[in-house]
Amino acid sequence: MKTMFSIVTLIVFFGTTLPAQKTVQGLNDFLVSVQKGSSLPGYAVAIVKEDQTIFSGAYGMSDKSKKIPYSLQTIQPSGGISRTIIALALMKAVDNGYFTLETPVNDVLPFKIINPNFPSAIIRVKDIATGTSGIADNLPMYNQAFTIGKKPSVEMKDFLKGYFTENGAYYDKANFCNSEPGKKYAASNVAAAVVAYMIELKSKMSFDKFTTQNIFAPLKMTDTHWIYDDAKSSKYATLYQVNRHEEALNKYVLNSDGTIKNYCAALYPATDLRSSVNDLAIFLKEMIKGYSGKSIIISKKSFELLFQKQFAADKLPATMDPREPNRAIFWAFNRKNKIAVTGGGPGYAAFIAFDPITKVGHVLLLNTDLDGIDNITTIEAFVNLMRGVETFELGK
């Protein structure tokens, strides 16, 4: 499942945008005009400053055929933002003494992960958390983690064992990069799920239960969960494919009317976080408070480590994107020095970011993805939307 980093690079091609506004009413009017003039079905935005929400708004439709408006409580997948939950859970695991960032993953797992290109190399938790593990999302195998329906057809532990064990159902040498741990950047959802599985092993509970007990419940994120929940499904956004796709996964989950089937993944901790803008704004405020040493979830020391730049400027891994020149734990530092994560998959896109200096940040959810063929109009609308949000943030 793709993240949206490649999409953001297209922003530079759009020099003309609608005039963005700096007041709450002005930004709201601006975002209304962006949605009405675009093919974006619906979206919601929240902008926070420290522990306050200073702007929130929802636009367009959660379900076009039923004429259900998109709201601040609308729930949808958030893709890569899932990894920010893994990050917080990981640091909770460190606080609990389960393991450290320096722990070799093979010291914890009941099977061995061995890169056939570098069989003696040691993969540490830190290597996974910074996207330099040497583990790849090999699409022919990776896509087999996805299932149409409400629950994955295979458990995470079984998929991971099959992906990393020779002669396993999902094993292939292409599941690994031709690089040693720590040497080359190549983010991997499969690798991220390994950390979630390690937490399961040490906590002796599912990652779903661990995060609900240690993160969602304490923060009162009442709409946030991983697995399809019939009790909450009336709040679910319908997902739409606006742009044409050729990718196998997009075709697999597409309905004939352009909507997306319910689908899920064995690697759910890396891809399947379901949440609303309201809940993610709560989470973002906790991240900002934690950055200032005031978290209720993990220790001050662990929060400092969570957002610490992991690479020296003169020792960056190969292929690091210059727009994201450093990494924290499952988060990225972008070229504006914001701490950010983006996510996306068939039928949705998601963004979360904050400025560690101003303590201002935003959450954005859309019920369509931005990738695809002939997506220029969609991208232009998204660029206008983001520039409006960023202009508002700069005034705060």
Tens digit of pLDDT at every position of the chain (396 positions): 444 434 444 444 444 445 557 899 999 999 999 999 999 999 999 999 999 999 999 999 999 999 999 999 999 999 999 999 999 999 999 999 999 999 999 999 999 999 999 999 999 999 999 999 999 999 999 999 999 999 999 999 999 999 999 999 999 999 999 999 999 999 999 999 999 999 999 999 999 999 999 999 999 999 999 999 999 999 999 999 999 999 999 999 999 999 999 999 999 999 999 999 999 999 999 999 999 999 999 999 999 999 999 999 889 999 998 889 999 999 999 988 899 999 999 999 999 999 999 999 999 999 999 999 989 999 999 999 999 999 999 988
Give the E-state strand segments of 82-164 in sequence order. 146-148
Query: Can you say whether the dihedral through the CA atoms of 221, 224, 226, 230 is positive or negative?
Result: positive
Q: Which CATH number characterizes residue 290's domain? A: 3.40.710.10
**The pLDDT value given to residue 236:** 98
Which pLDDT score is estimated for 9?
Answer: 46
pLDDT of residue 19: 57
The amino acid at residue 160 is L
Nearest-5° angle of CA 281, CA 204, CA 106?
95
pLDDT of residue 396: 85
Q: How many domains does the chain have?
A: 1
> What does residue 208 show for φ and ψ, rounded to 5 degrees?
-55, -50
Identify the domain containing residue 13 by its residue range: 5-394
CB atoms within 10 A of CB 148: 11
Distance of alpha carbon 110 from alpha carbon 114, whole angstroms? 13
Q: From the CB of residue 378, how many other CB atoms can be counted at a distance below 10 Å?
A: 22
- What CA–CA distance (Å, rounded) separates 271 from 50? 27
Q: What is the identity of the amino acid at 222?
A: T
Q: How high is the pLDDT of residue 76? A: 98
pLDDT value at position 91?
A: 98
Residue-level pLDDT at 5: 39
